[in-house]
Chains A and B, each alone.
Chain A
Amino acid sequence: MNIGTNKKIQWCPGCGNYAIYSAFKNVVERNIENGKLIKENIVLVSGIGCHGYITNYYDLNSFHPIHGRVPPLATGMRIANDLLTVVGFAGDGDVYAEGMNHIIQAARRNTDITMIVHDNSVYGLTTGQFTPTSPKGFKGRSTPFGNPERPLNPITLMIVSRGTFVARGFSGDVKHLEYLFERAIFHRGFSIVDVIQPCVTFNNTYEFFRKRVYRLEDTDYKPNDFEKAVEKSLEWGDKIPIGVFYEEETDTYEKLVRGHENFFFNRDVPDITEILTEKS
């Protein structure tokens, strides 16, 4: 099984996107082989930015739309056809700037989609501006005197937005990414993996993070308590946790809005006589 395509990958050598690309590839190939995923039912959605090209590199259904709008697009697909496994790739500019509204709504709705965020705290494709996750003081092309804004904590944001699977990954730990992606894909409901992914050209933070990250799975932390998860998400300093911060199971949005209808497979046109009779 190989879900790669013959398209030449156009990321900088050493880019964190490669780790995300291969971890996801391994997980999907493994699960297609063992029958847990069906190839034609997988749909990938990618946002705008360097990561967005990722859909060119997988031989899977895909939709590469506009900046920030990955969550509602993915939600529409899930409403249409319950068989679909929908995975959205997006950048930190995508989901925490242009489309922050949508990611919060998708989390609180518990739409059954997986979001993988290529969080490199910089706009790479537009050559190096700050994003909502860049630290205060970050010098980019639009902030030559330093970023005046305080950074956003995506993990806290997603937990308090009632996301039902919230995790952080690090592109320096591919094995762990595979573990997180697999769990996120099979989570029933909204899942997000915010992947700390250094940009080797504009914001190379490999060394910074390599020294600090540790796996929550190596500790006795249990991701089943909302308040503890919020507290844990605030840990950011000499030690930076990666892994699953929070997880719960509850009704998915699309089940609530369309019941068991499958609008792709059932296109029957309803009779409207009864409604018209009541109107007269």
Chain B
Amino acid sequence: MDELSVFLGGRAGEGVKRGALVIGKLFNRYGYHVFIMDDYVSTIRGGQDYSEIRISKKEVFSQKGISDIFFSFHEDIFERYSSKTKRDTVAVLDGKGGTNVPFDEIIKEKNASPVMKPSVILGVLSYVCEIPFEFVVKTLESEFKEKADKNIELAKAGFEYAKENNFPKLRMERWTKPQFPVISGNELTALGAVRAGMKVYTAYPITPASTLLHFLAKESKRLHIAAIHTEDEISAAVMAIGAAYAGAPAMCGTSGPGIDLMGEAISLAGGTEIPLVIVDAQRAGPTTGVPTYTEQGDLNLVLNVGHGEFPRIVLAPGTIDESFDVAARAMQYAWWYQTPVFVLTDKHIAESTKTVNIQFGKKYPLPVKYFEGSGVYKRYQVTEDGISPIAFPSMKGIVNHTNSTEHTEEGYSSSLPENVVKMKEKRLKKAETIRNDFLAEHTINVFGDVDAKNTVITFGSPTGTLLEAIEGLPLKLLQVIALEPFPVEKVKNIFDHSEKIISVEQNSTGQFAELVKCKTGRAPDEKILRYDGRPFDPFELKERLKEALL
């Protein structure tokens, strides 16, 4: 088989998420590309969690929705998600007979913990897919270190059980892809920022951004950074601003509800011209909403949050892979332009995991327009490009007056009308500089049939799914990375050669379609929306695209 889709469902406490990752790593080691989507509910015990692990010879950017082999530790999970099976799906439930496996019995017999159940599955897969057992051993050793033995024992039991009961085969040949990191969007966002010099990360726990904090906290010593859990999102944003003022590149991260709270701090960073990167890993709103599910409902929020007028940049990676480059560039832009920069992801990118092969070694220098003059330092010096030279406390002879009150070039408070105009125009100038510079920046991607006369336009996580959905359709895919400043000319240019334009986004009002219309003067002819908190899957999307093309 060229491709395999594995469903793994259980209750919280049965190691579903970790298990899915380990299964992904097994196939990564065996030479395949992997994409893992975790679906979990906002409870600690009693909920039904599942993961879809998609394994393929070619790179895949989304879950498949339909499984070839369906593991469930409980009958009710199988019943609930039976729509994710097909006629010949191999269903493996807890029990005996047919293709069932007595998971509980094996766990008890081996005196193991229920959280280790997925290790039994690794053994079953080894038999069913004809993966030499040594791959399982190596995977478990690398994952569980000194605790590997018990897991290997469980895997062996799974293998033997499948063999004795003559389980059907879904043979996967040894494939050729080298071993890549199996990594999530949040982790790549973190590493991208670190590679561009981030030293301080601040956040308050919130799904689906918490895993970004967890990862940076765990790795803080090796990365020589501080990852700080603050008392709230207000403090997270303000503390990051304090760190940046003192010369440490800083980032704060949250989800929509936290962005609401960060509003005044984002305005503060804009008005005081502080470099600040803000990650919004979106979830389904409004209010508490559907906290563990995905949505792109914060687009208008991040384009507008913070009172008053100030320059901002909003970037959205389209795939897990792209999170790295986008986060790194966000840090570079923040420090060059001294203004807030948003990285807009969503649960589907932030918390899904895949095999990633990108230029991890790429250098992201952090050029800063330093003050090199002598005499009195003017924090808000009026310059041609609107960017004032920056200097930090601890620099000899520097007095840096940063001021949220409207200020003079020296940073002293002033509400004189001519001064207000001067500073507003300085910030306008900076926004214009950003717009002009962005003409040469990487702000869109075009995929698919570039000569196609129809265009599907999107941003963020639907991109990965669309890459697959448009295969064989007369469509080119235009993904917008920079939502602000919007790449008006580039998009218009493609629109000028497009008969039909279809927009795809994960929300109920079509915020992106509205933005496209407002910026280009041309509204998409068809809008494809999804707003049940679940990400698009490629087959569903293909059908909807076909309909839209009629």
Contact across chains for B399 and A270 when beta carbons are under 8 A apart: no
Chain A residues whose C-beta falls within 8 Å of the C-beta of B242 in the assembled complex = 63, 72-77, 79-80
In the bound complex, CA of A64 to CA of B405 (Å)? 7
In the bound complex, CA of A61 to CA of B393 (Å)? 6
Q: Is B28 an interface residue (CB 8 A)?
A: yes
Identity of the chain B residue whose Cβ is nearest the Cβ of A278 in the assembled complex: B142
User: Which residues of A from 222 to 280 have beta carbons under 8 Å from B?
Assistant: 257-259, 261, 263-270, 272-280
Task: Evaluate whether A61 and B226 lie within 8 angstroms (CB atoms) in the complex, with A80-B242, A279-B181 already known.
Answer: no
Task: Evaluate whether A264 and B360 lie within 8 angstroms (CB atoms) in the complex, with A73-B239, A84-B393 already known.
Answer: no
Contact across chains for A263 and B238 when beta carbons are under 8 A apart: no
Contact across chains for B224 and A261 when beta carbons are under 8 A apart: yes
Contact across chains for B191 and A81 when beta carbons are under 8 A apart: no
Contact across chains for B231 and A101 when beta carbons are under 8 A apart: yes
Identity of the chain A residue whose Cβ is nearest the Cβ of B274 in the assembled complex: A63
Question: Residues of A within 8 Å of B, CB-based: how many?
Answer: 54
Question: Residues of B within 8 Å of A, CB-based: how many?
Answer: 67
Q: Is A41 an interface residue (CB 8 A)?
A: yes
Identity of the chain A residue whose Cβ is nearest the Cβ of B405 in the assembled complex: A64
Chain B residues whose C-beta falls within 8 Å of the C-beta of A42 in the assembled complex = 393
Q: Is B527 an interface residue (CB 8 A)?
A: no
In the bound complex, CA of A84 to CA of B240 (Å)? 16
Chain B residues whose C-beta falls within 8 Å of the C-beta of A267 in the assembled complex = 197, 199, 249, 366
Task: Evaluate whether A81 and B181 lie within 8 angstroms (CB atoms) in the complex, with A62-B401, A62-B402 already known.
Answer: no
Identity of the chain B residue whose Cβ is nearest the Cβ of A42 in the assembled complex: B393
Contact across chains for A40 and B195 when beta carbons are under 8 A apart: no
Closest Cβ of chain B to A2, distance in Å, is 13
In the bound complex, CA of A42 to CA of B412 (Å)? 17
Contact across chains for B248 and A81 when beta carbons are under 8 A apart: yes
Chain B residues whose C-beta falls within 8 Å of the C-beta of A279 in the assembled complex = 181-183, 187
Q: Is B241 an interface residue (CB 8 A)?
A: yes
Chain B residues whose C-beta falls within 8 Å of the C-beta of A61 in the assembled complex = 393, 398-401
In the bound complex, CA of A118 to CA of B6 (Å)? 63
Closest Cβ of chain B to A272, distance in Å, is 6
Closest Cβ of chain A to B186, distance in Å, is 13
Residue B28 contacts which of A84, A278, A280 (CB distance < 8 angstroms)?
Answer: A280
Contact across chains for B180 and A263 when beta carbons are under 8 A apart: no
Contact across chains for B200 and A81 when beta carbons are under 8 A apart: no
Chain B residues whose C-beta falls within 8 Å of the C-beta of A62 in the assembled complex = 400-403, 411
Contact across chains for B243 and A102 when beta carbons are under 8 A apart: no
Q: Is A69 an interface residue (CB 8 A)?
A: yes
Contact across chains for B396 and A40 when beta carbons are under 8 A apart: yes
User: Which residues of B from 195 to 241 have beta carbons under 8 Å from A?
Assistant: 195-197, 199-200, 202, 219, 221-226, 228, 230-232, 234-235, 238-241
Closest Cβ of chain B to A265, distance in Å, is 8
Task: Evaluate whether A59 and B264 lie within 8 angstroms (CB atoms) in the complex, with A40-B394, A76-B250, A270-B224 already known.
Answer: no
Contact across chains for B405 and A77 when beta carbons are under 8 A apart: no
Chain A residues whose C-beta falls within 8 Å of the C-beta of B179 in the assembled complex = 280
Contact across chains for A64 and B246 when beta carbons are under 8 A apart: no
In the bound complex, CA of A269 to CA of B240 (Å)? 19
Residue A65 contacts which of B196, B219, B248, B272 (CB distance < 8 angstroms)?
Answer: B272
User: Which residues of B from 260 to 276 have beta carbons under 8 Å from A?
Assistant: 264-265, 268, 272
Residue A79 contacts which of B28, B195, B224, B239 (CB distance < 8 angstroms)?
Answer: B239
Contact across chains for B235 and A102 when beta carbons are under 8 A apart: yes
B364-408 Cβ-contact flags toward A at 8 Å (1 or 0): 101000000000000000000000000011111111111111000
Task: Evaluate whether A64 and B222 lie within 8 angstroms (CB atoms) in the complex, with A80-B248, A263-B248 already known.
Answer: no
Task: Evaluate whether A64 and B191 lie within 8 angstroms (CB atoms) in the complex, with A79-B200, A81-B247 already known.
Answer: no
Q: Is B433 an interface residue (CB 8 A)?
A: no
Contact across chains for B230 and A72 when beta carbons are under 8 A apart: yes
Contact across chains for B241 and A55 when beta carbons are under 8 A apart: no
Q: Is B194 an interface residue (CB 8 A)?
A: yes
Chain A residues whose C-beta falls within 8 Å of the C-beta of B223 in the assembled complex = 270, 272, 275
Contact across chains for B395 and A76 when beta carbons are under 8 A apart: no
In the bound complex, CA of A72 to CA of B194 (Å)? 22
21 residue pairs from A and B, CB less than 8 Å apart: A40-B394, A41-B393, A42-B393, A52-B405, A61-B399, A62-B400, A72-B231, A72-B235, A73-B242, A73-B245, A77-B246, A81-B394, A257-B228, A258-B226, A263-B247, A263-B248, A270-B225, A275-B191, A275-B219, A277-B181, A280-B179
B interface residue numbers (CB < 8 A to A): 25, 28, 142, 179-183, 187, 191, 194-197, 199-200, 202, 219, 221-226, 228, 230-232, 234-235, 238-250, 264-265, 268, 272, 360, 364, 366, 392-405, 411-413
Closest 7 pairs (CB-CB, A-B): A76-B242, A80-B248, A263-B248, A80-B246, A264-B247, A263-B199, A76-B239
